[in-house]
């Protein structure tokens, strides 16, 4: 195992879904739900829900690039939500649910640009990508009740209707990258 670690911060809609999916990936060393991109210091879940902070629900994904590549994580990001939908993912609507990638290094930005050029060239989507790409400035950790949400609440209807099908689809598509794979 290397001593290198990189960080992306991803917004894919509700952070409960993406947190659970990224936690299942080999090479991912930490996943934390939080907020980024806005104008309010120390935002809260309730303030963000009111829509006046400009923050986005995001997950901070730390990973070892010697085990899982940036490119694969970026492909996973695109797969786990609709990157052509502006401020809406399934039942979640509002700018706090927009598709966004916050990068930490210029090398990461180049990887994002290369993937987006490939996606456009392949005409992978019938609509253009609306995913924002910005350099990470600040990340605020979400409240304790939002961390490990699926693990603590998998019996809830939202988890069963929204997250469970995502887990199944994602696990099928990326099975070779799952922790504890057979």
At 177, is the secondary structure helix, strand, or coil?
helix
Residues 97/46, Cβ–Cβ less than 8 Å: no
At 141, is the secondary structure helix, strand, or coil?
strand
The long-range contacts involving 119-125, CB below 8 angstroms and separated by at least 24 positions, are: 119/78, 125/83, 125/84
Q: How far is Cα of residue 14 from the mean position of the Cα atoms in its chain? A: 9
Query: Residue 66 and residue 68: Cα distance in Å, rounded?
Result: 6
Query: Residue 36 and residue 95: Cα distance in Å, rounded?
Result: 12
Residues 4/64, Cβ–Cβ less than 8 Å: yes
Active-site amino acid positions = 14
DSSP string, 32-70: EEEEESSSSSS--HHHHHHT-S--EEEEEEEE-TTTS-H
């Amino acid at each position: 195992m290397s001593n290198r670690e990189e960080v992306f911060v991803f917004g894919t809609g509700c952070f409960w879904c993406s947190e659970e999916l990224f936690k299942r990936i080999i090479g991912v060393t930490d996943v934390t739900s939080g907020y980024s991109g806005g104008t309010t210091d120390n935002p809260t879940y309730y303030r963000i829900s009111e829509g006046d902070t400009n923050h986005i629900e995001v997950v901070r994904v730390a990973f070892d690039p010697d085990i899982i590549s940036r490119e694969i994580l970026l492909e996973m990001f695109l797969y786990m939500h609709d990157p052509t939908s502006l401020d809406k993912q399934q039942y979640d609507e509002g700018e706090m649910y927009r598709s966004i990638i916050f990068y930490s290094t210029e090398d990461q930005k180049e990887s994002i640009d290369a993937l987006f050029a490939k996606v456009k060239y392949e005409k992978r989507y019938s609509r253009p990508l609306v995913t924002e790409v910005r350099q990470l400035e600040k990340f605020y950790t979400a409240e304790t009740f939002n961390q490990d949400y699926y693990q603590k609440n998998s019996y809830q209807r939202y988890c069963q209707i929204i997250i469970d099908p995502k887990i199944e689809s994602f696990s099928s598509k990326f099975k070779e990258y799952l922790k504890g794979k057979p």
